[in-house]
Amino acid sequence: MVESVHTGHAVVVDPQGSIVQVWGDPDEPFYLRSAAKPFQAAVSQANGADLSPRQLAIACSSHSGEPVHVALVEAMLEEVGLGPADLLCPPDWPMGAAAARRAEHKSRPSHNCSGKHASMLRACVASGWPLDYTRADHPLQEQIYTLVADVTGVDPKPSGVDGCGVPTLRTTTAGLARAFARLATDPELAEVTTAMHRYPYLTAGTDRAEAAIGVAVNAAVKGGAKGCLGVAVIGQYGIAAKSTDGLNGPAEMAAIEGIARVGMLTAAMDAAVAEQRHPTVLGGGGAVGRYESGLT
């Protein structure tokens, strides 16, 4: 039994930002959501956040709220004389199922975006800016708008408000692919790319497809809510996928297919991400088939 999944858009661009593969509509707009985090983290770092590689990885993350994630966020705050109460993300349960079962209550450091918020706070402290960093007109956010416009080639406004309270910016699938091509090749973003690639379990979690792709492929990987995913194949390509039904699975399948279509997926890599590329179809309590991407 094979079920085909093709509800979305996918784009691969080369280091110059030129499209080399496209499926669906590359110019349909959507909000970046957490797929913007590598660029938000780059702006925080450029403004004095002074993050170590592990801290930079957690700044880029939509983490699972595992103990290591929470501990890193709390240390990031303590180092600059702040605490969890200074985070402007709402208290939340950990995203990861195992971590959520262990949690006794919601907390701000458990929120999957707390690393991003902690890095923004550190930049504000270093730059002497007000700590109300979620304002759309805050100096930090204005610099983020400028960088996102540059790397995507798409006007990111009008912005929205993300689930964590930070402004979220508009793009297209082609714009997201161009941004991740820059992440793959731009020396000014190399510190972020290296941290994400070196610590994929900090950038996501131990049970997440993003981490599986980041481990298997020479790439930095970041997803966003409602089914968008960017892959920076280091030194090579930017790949983006957007699921129009808002599910993460189709975007993950399409991104891996994009990696394969440009010859960057070896047999060993393919085996390592087999379940993400061709998820199992279950029926009657057992495996009865698999999904195919349906990209043509």
Task: Tell me: do 100 and 111 sit in the same domain.
Answer: yes
| Secondary structure E strands in the chain | 2-4, 8-13, 19-23, 30-31, 160-161, 167-168, 170-171, 219-224, 228-233, 237-243, 280-283, 286-292
Domain count for the chain: 2
**Separation of alpha carbons 287 and 270, rounded Å:** 20
Task: Tell me: do 58 and 162 sit in the same domain.
Answer: yes
Instruction: Choose the final residue of a domain: 112, 147, 171.
Output: 171
pLDDT value at residue 286 = 84
User: Does a structural domain hold residue 189?
Assistant: no
pLDDT value at residue 295 = 66
User: Does a structural domain hold residue 293?
Assistant: yes
Task: Tell me: do 144 and 236 sit in the same domain.
Answer: no
**What SS3 class is residue 287?**
strand
User: Does a structural domain hold residue 197?
Assistant: no
pLDDT value at residue 233 = 97
User: Does a structural domain hold residue 183?
Assistant: no
Tens of pLDDT along the chain (296 residues)?
Answer: 555 555 789 999 999 999 999 999 999 999 999 999 999 999 999 999 999 999 999 999 999 999 999 999 999 999 999 999 999 999 999 998 888 999 899 999 999 999 999 999 999 999 999 999 999 999 999 999 999 999 999 999 999 999 999 999 999 999 999 999 999 999 999 999 999 999 999 999 888 899 999 999 999 999 999 999 999 999 999 999 999 889 898 899 999 999 999 999 999 999 999 888 888 888 888 888 887 776 65
Residue that is written with structure tokens 């890599």 in the block: 269
Task: Tell me: do 35 and 164 sit in the same domain.
Answer: yes
In the Cβ-directed half-sphere of 23, how many Cα atoms lie within 13 Å? 24
User: Does a structural domain hold residue 217?
Assistant: yes
CB of 114 closer than 8 Å to CB of 87 = yes
**Separation of alpha carbons 104 and 87, rounded Å:** 19
User: Does a structural domain hold residue 186?
Assistant: no
pLDDT value at residue 5 = 52
Statement: the pTM of the whole predicted model exceeds 0.85: yes
Task: Tell me: do 140 and 218 sit in the same domain.
Answer: no
Task: Tell me: do 59 and 138 sit in the same domain.
Answer: yes
Answer whether the bond into residue 38 is a cis peptide, omega within 30°: no
Task: Tell me: do 155 and 69 sit in the same domain.
Answer: yes
Alpha-carbon torsion (212, 216, 220, 224), positive or negative: negative
User: Does a structural domain hold residue 199?
Assistant: no
Instruction: Choose the final residue of a domain: 123, 151, 171.
Output: 171
**Separation of alpha carbons 215 and 59, rounded Å:** 19
User: Does a structural domain hold residue 259?
Assistant: yes
Query: For residue 274, what are the domain limits?
Result: 1-28+206-296
Task: Tell me: do 20 and 80 sit in the same domain.
Answer: no
pLDDT value at residue 293 = 74
pLDDT value at residue 292 = 78
Residue among 206, 38, 219, 191 nearest 115 (CA): 38
**Residue 294 exposed, middle or buried by CB count within 10 Å (0-12, 13-18, 19+):** middle
Task: Tell me: do 154 and 237 sit in the same domain.
Answer: no
Task: Tell me: do 58 and 22 sit in the same domain.
Answer: no
pLDDT value at residue 296 = 59
pLDDT value at residue 3 = 52
Task: Tell me: do 55 and 144 sit in the same domain.
Answer: yes
Task: Tell me: do 14 and 131 sit in the same domain.
Answer: no
pLDDT value at residue 33 = 96
pLDDT value at residue 4 = 54
